[in-house]
């Protein structure tokens, strides 16, 4: 478990807001403002997430930890988008794809049920897909 609680509802909110956050042209982190323009690389994405989390949680360790965790989950989604698309848990798009609720729930569970320091063990797409399908079948059984 991570030192700060990161609920699924918070994660969903952050996912919804990401559509706007990923277009930030300026970020302010720790009181320092920088211009990013239209940069769309790894570093600019991390800076945007950090700015967003500081807007929500202030310049705190909680903001930093949630920014790291959210970024790791987003990178995992991006890296394995083709796997999730082929399993019909996501639909690839040019700007931003569509991601099933069950897939988000599975990724959140896997990445928040262990300390950040243990995340280098890297979850496999197959592990996430199996959990997402389990969540999906549970919803259909009810």
Q: Is residue 2 one of the residues assigned to a domain?
A: no
> What burial class does residue 14 get, using C-beta atoms within 10 Å of its C-beta: 0-12 exposed, 13-18 middle, 19+ buried?
buried
Is residue 3 in some structural domain?
no
pLDDT averaged per 10 residues in sequence order, the chain, 142 residues = 81 94 93 90 93 95 94 91 87 70 94 76 87 87 58
Task: Tell whether 13 is covered by a domain.
Answer: yes
Say if 119 falls within a structural domain.
yes
- For the entire predicted model, the pTM comes to 0.86
Residue 73 placed within a domain: yes
Residue 1: inside a domain, yes or no?
A: no
Residue 96: predicted pLDDT: 57
Instruction: State how many domains the chain has.
Output: 1
Which structural domain, as residue segments, surrounds residue 69? 8-141
| The pair of three-digit structure tokens given for residue 41, joined into one six-digit string | 């690389």
The reply to whether 15 falls in a domain is yes
> Which CA distances in Å does 10 have to 26, 41, 50, 76?
23, 25, 15, 18
User: Does residue 92 lie in a domain region?
Assistant: yes
CA-only gyration radius of the chain, Å? 15
């Amino acid at each position: 478990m991570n030192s700060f609680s990161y609920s699924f509802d918070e994660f969903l909110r952050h996912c919804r807001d990401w559509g706007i956050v990923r277009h930030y042209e300026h970020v302010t982190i720790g009181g320092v403002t920088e211009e990013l323009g239209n940069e769309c690389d790894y570093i600019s994405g991390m800076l945007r997430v950090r700015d967003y989390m500081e807007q929500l949680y202030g310049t705190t360790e909680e903001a930093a930890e949630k920014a790291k965790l959210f970024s790791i989950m987003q990178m995992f989604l991006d890296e394995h988008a083709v796997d999730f698309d082929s399993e019909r848990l996501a639909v690839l798009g040019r700007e931003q794809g569509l991601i099933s609720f069950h897939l988000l729930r599975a990724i959140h569970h896997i990445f928040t049920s262990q300390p950040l320091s243990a995340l280098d063990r890297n979850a496999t797409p197959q592990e996430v897909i199996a959990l997402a399908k389990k969540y999906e079948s549970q919803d259909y059984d009810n």
